[in-house]
């Protein structure tokens, strides 16, 4: 027997007359929507607690600075910002500035670890919800790479680069034809998120249980290899957020609303 998601059946309520109906298209399965929004507080807490853990033993180090004795790039970046702020941070605490504002803080390893474990388990649960929603609602179909993707991705990039200049000179600038829910760039970005989630989870377990899950640690080369992959995954999540928010705002209310209510009124139109 076929999986229900493979059967596409659209019921048409015969009790509705033409005048009382509105035409919509289903967008995101309710579990996908739930997981999407749950990710927001979960990833926030994972990042702030994760940076608190990172502070205890940074991976990316340079030779100790002669003046501050700091070896940590993140601490240096924070100190550089704090020096130009009007606030009165004591000189010996300048290097804490980044961690105090973007993490749970310095010398807070124990609370940071507790929070990180809690939200790591929640993150994995959220990932399961997302997968269940993708499979159940058939949303995974829009994430599978297509042969036309490279060409379409170039067309989309050309479109985005030309968008503002063409608007300025007042020339029409057409959105490339997109078949389906996502264009090629979106497909790549939205597929990369669960994959990086998986990578963050695997590297997290590799350093959490390197003895019992030694095979996982070896998959990342070494213990520190897993730490670096985990750190990069965090930056990917953060880097995804900026264009994601900009494009959703640019695309309009329908797109934003569809992630809350699960339907869209834009039928057969390209959307971000």
Partner 1 sequence: MSDEEKTPEAPLAAEAKTDQVPSSPDSPVIASATTESERESLPDLPATESFSGSEPESEEADGAAILDETMSVRRLPRGLIAQILAPEDETPVWIDPKRLGRQSRRDFLLFGAATAVSAAGVWWLLPDGTKQQWLSPAAASRIDSIEARFGVTGQRRERFLGRVLTFDDDVAEALYSRNRRVRAYRPSDVTPLRNNYNGRTPTGGYLVSWKLTLSGLATGKETTLTAGDLSRFPVRDQVTRLCCVEGWSAVAFWSGIRFAELLRAYPPAPAARWAAIESAVNLDGAGQPDPYYVSIDLDTALHPQTLLATKQDNRPLSLAHGAPLRLVVPMKLGLKNIKAVTSIRYTADEPPDYWNERGYSKYDGL
DSSP result, 134-177: HHHHTGGGGTS--TTHHHHHHHHHHHHHHHHHHHHHT---PPPP
Interface positions, 133-172, toward partner 1 (CB under 8 A):
136-139, 141-142, 144
Q: Report the C-alpha gap between 125 and 35 in whole angstroms.
A: 9
**Cβ nearer to partner 1, comparing 8 with 90:** 8
Interface positions, 248-267, toward partner 1 (CB under 8 A):
257, 260-263, 267
Element (H, E) at 264: strand 263-264
**Cβ nearer to partner 1, comparing 113 with 153:** 113
**Cβ nearer to partner 1, comparing 161 with 223:** 223
Interface positions, 62-81, toward partner 1 (CB under 8 A):
none
Residues in the chain: 272
State the residue for tokens 């497909």. 187
Q: Report the C-alpha gap between 142 and 138 in whole angstroms.
A: 8
Q: Which of 43, 48, 185, 229 binds partner 1 (CB under 8 A)?
A: 48
Q: Which of 179, 195, 239, 256 binds partner 1 (CB under 8 A)?
A: 179
Q: Which of 54, 98, 130, 220 binds partner 1 (CB under 8 A)?
A: 54
State the residue for tokens 């994430």. 143
Task: Please give the biggest Cα pair distance in the chain.
Answer: 80
Q: Which of 2, 67, 164, 174 binds partner 1 (CB under 8 A)?
A: 2
Q: Which of 36, 73, 76, 100 binds partner 1 (CB under 8 A)?
A: 100
Residue 181 within binding range of partner 1, rule CB under 8 A: yes
Interface positions, 206-225, toward partner 1 (CB under 8 A):
207-214, 217-218, 223-224
Interface positions, 24-43, toward partner 1 (CB under 8 A):
24-26, 29-31, 34, 37-38, 40-41
| 257-262 long-range contacts, CB within 8 A, separation 24+ | 258/27, 258/28, 259/27, 259/28, 259/33, 259/36, 259/37, 260/33, 260/37, 262/26, 262/27, 262/28, 262/29, 262/30, 262/33
Q: Which of 60, 77, 85, 111 binds partner 1 (CB under 8 A)?
A: 111
């Amino acid at each position: 027997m076929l999986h229900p998601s493979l059967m596409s059946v659209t019921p048409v309520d015969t009790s509705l007359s033409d005048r009382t109906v509105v035409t919509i298209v289903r967008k995101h399965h309710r579990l996908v929507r739930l997981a999407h929004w749950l990710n927001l507080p979960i990833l926030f807490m994972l990042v702030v607690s994760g940076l608190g853990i990172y502070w205890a033993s940074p991976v990316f180090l340079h030779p100790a600075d002669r003046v501050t004795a700091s070896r940590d790039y993140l601490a240096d970046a924070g100190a550089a910002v704090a020096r130009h702020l009007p606030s009165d941070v004591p000189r010996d605490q300048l290097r804490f500035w980044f961690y105090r504002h973007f993490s749970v803080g310095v010398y807070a390893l124990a609370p940071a670890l507790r929070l990180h474990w809690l939200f790591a388990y929640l993150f994995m649960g959220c990932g399961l919800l997302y997968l269940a929603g993708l499979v159940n609602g058939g949303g995974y179909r829009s994430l599978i790479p297509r042969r036309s993707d490279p060409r379409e991705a170039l067309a989309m990039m050309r479109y985005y680069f030309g968008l503002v200049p063409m608007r300025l000179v007042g020339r029409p600038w057409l959105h490339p034809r997109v078949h389906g829910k996502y264009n090629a760039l979106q497909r790549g970005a939205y597929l990369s998120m669960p994959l990086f989630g998986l990578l963050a989870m695997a590297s997290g377990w590799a350093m959490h249980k390197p003895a019992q899950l030694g095979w996982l640690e070896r998959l990342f080369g070494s213990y520190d290899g897993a730490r670096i992959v985990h750190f990069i995954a965090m930056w990917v999540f953060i880097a995804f957020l900026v264009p994601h928010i900009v494009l959703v705002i640019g695309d309009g209310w329908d797109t934003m609303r569809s992630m809350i209510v699960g339907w869209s009124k834009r039928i057969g139109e390209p959307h971000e």
